[in-house]
Structure 1
Amino acid sequence: MMATLRISLPIIIGQLGTVMMGVADNIQVGALGAASIAAAGIANSVFFLFALFGLGTLSVIAPQVATANGRNEKMECSMLLRAGFRLGIGLGILIGLILLFLSLNFHWFRQTPEVEALAVEYLQIISISVVPMFFFMAIKQFSDGLSHTRVAMVITIGGLLFNVFFNWVLIHGKLGFPQWGLNGAGVATMLARLFMAVGMLGYIFRSSLFYGYINKPPTGYSFTPLLKKLLRLGVPGGFQLFFEGGAFSGAAIIAGWLGTIALAAHQIALNLATITYMVAAGISSAGAIRVGQAVGIGSHTKIVRAGTVSLALSIAFMSMACFVFLTFNYSLVRLYIQDEAVVNLGAALLIIGGFFQLSDGVQVVGLGILRGIEDVNVPTVIALFAYWVIGLPLGYVLGFTLNMHAQGIWLGLLAGLTVSAILLTIRFYTLTYKMKASKHLRTMG
């Protein structure tokens, strides 16, 4: 357990730093009114719908590096880093272009005119930031895979402080800069992500922690086979997060059909739930690394132990998060906005959010530990089924057909997360049992 905690705590802090950029944006934008916070919410929902695909694809790098390092293959680790550079930049350009295209057709999302007018330019600005965001993530995955997780943590915290400062400057027009409002928050986020990418790149090439792992490719080396492997293992992981994130983005879109108040309340409650989710996601990343290390050294016992410890840590934390959401729901929403209509609805949504904390924590760790044993295809099908066959359709029926409105949408999300958590946990223990019975440690994803 202590080994998992040592790896996971810096990842968790780094993940929290990343999501706190969104929290800071929402809190600082909240002073501009419900329309601005709703616009930021819907634009970020669209952004992360596609960004999550790239982040999920890149997340396969850390367990691959951990497995290679477990075999003491330093050259393979170095090639994974360089392949990650290529993959991160390529995915960033592709997804950035998709986001720019969507910003030009934002009317597809059927939002109120006021929200749409604010959201379009903001989405165009943050879409540019996806390239440095993915470049940073590729390097972070390499560093995390070697269990040097504090590096990204420190740089992410620096990025957060950078973002908060420039939010203050650009949103409100301080220090001689023009007052850009919501667009100022987008520019600040873009600059912060660029800062993080440059900082991470500079650190790994200068730090003694990575001596022996930063090697030039051998003469005639082709990255094509390695990139194909990363895509084969990573793309299903990208779709896992796309299906999950897509359900939440879809929920934001249909919440917007209920009006600005409903969308603002949804965004605030989801923003708070995302904070706790990122802690569980940090534990998931650590679990994937620990499982990958166990696969590298060939220990079935350590594979099962690493997965079980990760699940237990996530359940423990998310139980505490559930208590906080149920007890302090009104106070938490008022951190963002004082509009009583938004506060009352947001607090009601946090009650439901409190109950889906456990399911959310278990399902994200389940994805991580399965990724550690290279099982990626079946979890993708599970994610598709849980969120798009159960979660989002049920949320629509409850919200619109049965007139439960935003609360109905969130009950649908709760159902999808619960189904995903149950199926992924069963999948992990079933596979590891089969691995032990067949006396081999590799499973086809």
Structure 2
Amino acid sequence: MFRFLRTYRSELTDTFRLSVPIVIAQLGVVLMGVTDNLFVGRLLGAVPLGAAGLANAISFLVSCIGVGGLSVVAALVSKARSQNDTAEVNRLFRAGLQVAWLFSIVFGGLSIVLAYNFQLFGQTPEVTKLAENFMLILSASLVPLLIFVAARQLADGLRFPRVAMAITVGALVLNAFFNYVLITGFGPFPEMGLMGSAMATLLSRTAMAVGMLVYIYRSGRFKPYLVRAFRALPTSADVRTILRLGIPGGLTFFFEVATFTLAAVLTGWLGEDRLAAHQIAINMASVTYMMATGISSAAAIRVGAAVGQGSNQGVYRAGVAAFALSIGFMSVAALLFFTANDWLVSLYIRDNPAVSTVAATLVIMGGIFQLSDGIQVVGVGALRGLSDVNVPTLITLFSYWGVALPMSYLLGFTFKMDVIGVWIGLLAGLTIAAILLTVRFFRRVRRLERTVSGIPA
């Protein structure tokens, strides 16, 4: 252990410094949904909590191809920066914004269609009615969200992740403020109930997009990459590159998020109490997952830079450092889930023992799959840095839709294991994905070494 730390000290330190601001920014994004659920659960009760949680989950599912697809831009920017190609960095930034607008139209429209057909998810009439209106407002918020994600790729790829971190933290505070005043009608603000929470998300995401763009165009850090002469450079090739690499990468993200979203739908069939308990536990697991995606993004950036420098050893060491950091962090998260599950649940809901008891059990289940979740998401990021996106997409399709969902249904319904069976299926899918993606990364590294050595790959 100490030998490993000595050998990889510089890689671990560099990955940690890069990942911490990204982790905080990623955490801020998911904490908006958590904040919505906290305020809704404590101020409005279990049924609105289930509706808001399910609408948030489905909205995030719709947007995740765009969010995941745009994340490839940071690795491409990092590679171009390592090659001192400032013009390419500019083209990637502008192309990313163009792709974000395209994704906004496609996925925003799809979100609206799903909102008007929410009965397809088989929930109770009350949950369906509340979730439909909630999701319509969330559909509008996809536009600023994707613009923000596209703009932050420039900052992250140039190793200025604190920019997005500061903006996201500020927006999170703004979201909490608007949640309270718009739900309750405090002071001059109207009492909007559950819809006030959705409006808080829309306003906060708009502030994030505006803040990110203003900072980029006004800060001296980015001026070398935004000179006027670059504006005439065509971006069509870069748009195609982002789409070619980003869509499979986004689908990788989609398959996992879709699995957890459909698991929520399955849980909703078991009853409103089960759905509320599931939303509480999955919110906690999503917090640690999004923090692990920060390490994954750092892995993609560092691996991409090593590829640009032609350093195969750098690729290997960047990947190993990211895996080690993720395992360490998720182990701590698992320990917290095991030992403080009742207290964590009490933050979401009170005076409802039926929900609290089930949620506390599910939080322990969430602790069990922390390691698998952290390893698989870093595997995706490290492979993204190698521009390897097609095979990981197939791996996640098999792991989540071929294993996790069928097993969740069989255990939960056929074998009558209730919501525990659903979560065991999720654990199985995550574990298989973690194994296959890790093996894929190290095989790709060995292939690079053989190519450089002149040995046929």
TM-score exceeds 0.5: yes
By how many angstroms is 1:216 displaced?
3.9
Which residue of 1 is the match for residue 392 of structure 2?
A: 379
CA contact (8 A) 1:35 1:260 kept: yes
By how many angstroms is 1:176 displaced?
2.1
Q: Distance in 1 between matches of 2:291 and 2:237?
A: 34
**Given the superposition, is the C-alpha separation of residues 343 and 299 from structure 1 closer, same or farther in structure 2, using an over 3 Å criterion?**
same
- Cα deviation digits, residues 280-330 of structure 1 (max 9, x gap): 110000010000110111100010000000000000000011111011111
Counterpart of 1:301, as a letter, is Q
Which residue of 1 is the match for residue 101 of structure 2?
A: 89
Q: Distance in 1 between matches of 2:423 and 2:251?
A: 22
Q: Distance in 2 between matches of 1:387 and 1:219?
A: 42
Match among 342, 356, 361 for residue 348 of structure 1: 361
Report sequence identity in percent: 50
Which residue of 2 is the match for residue 246 of structure 1?
A: 258
Which residue of 1 is the match for residue 6 of structure 2?
A: none
Question: Equivalent residue of 1:439, what SS?
Answer: helix
**Given the superposition, is the C-alpha separation of residues 345 and 219 from structure 1 closer, same or farther in structure 2, using an over 3 Å criterion?**
closer
By how many angstroms is 1:218 displaced?
4.8
> Which consecutive residues of structure 1, in runs of 5 or more, have no partner in the other structure?
none
- In the alignment, structure 1 residue 39 sits paired with structure 2 residue 55: no
CA contact (8 A) 2:252 2:396 kept: yes
Question: Equivalent residue of 2:224, what SS?
Answer: coil
Q: Distance in 1 between matches of 2:250 and 2:204?
A: 24
By how many angstroms is 1:185 displaced?
0.4
Which residue of 2 is the match for residue 138 of structure 1?
A: 150
Match among 170, 176, 193 for residue 164 of structure 1: 176
Q: Distance in 1 between matches of 2:287 and 2:200?
A: 20
Cα RMSD between the aligned structures? 1.3
By how many angstroms is 1:440 displaced?
8.0
Query: What are the within-5 Å matches in structure 2 for residues 104-253 of structure 1?
Result: 104-216=116-228, 218=230, 221-253=233-265
Which residue of 2 is the match for residue 28 of structure 1?
A: 39
- Cα deviation digits, residues 112-170 of structure 1 (max 9, x gap): 11111110100000110001000000011111000000000000001001101111110
Structure 1 stretches of 4+ moved >6 Å: none
TM-score by length of 2: 0.95
Counterpart of 1:22, as a letter, is G
Counterpart of 2:371, as a letter, is L
Which residue of 1 is the match for residue 300 of structure 2?
A: 288
Q: Distance in 1 between matches of 2:379 and 2:52?
A: 30
CA contact (8 A) 2:48 2:127 kept: yes
- In the alignment, structure 1 residue 301 sits paired with structure 2 residue 313: yes
Counterpart of 2:20, as a letter, is L
By how many angstroms is 1:9 displaced?
0.5
By how many angstroms is 1:220 displaced?
5.7
Q: Distance in 2 between matches of 1:403 and 1:420?
A: 26
- Cα deviation digits, residues 156-194 of structure 1 (max 9, x gap): 001001101111110110112221111000001000000
TM-score by length of 1: 0.98
By how many angstroms is 1:221 displaced?
3.5
Q: Distance in 1 between matches of 2:259 and 2:188?
A: 42
Counterpart of 1:270, as a letter, is I
Question: Equivalent residue of 1:177, what SS?
Answer: coil
CA contact (8 A) 1:75 1:215 kept: no
> Which consecutive residues of structure 2, in runs of 5 or more, have no partner in the other structure?
1-11
Q: Distance in 2 between matches of 1:95 and 1:217?
A: 33
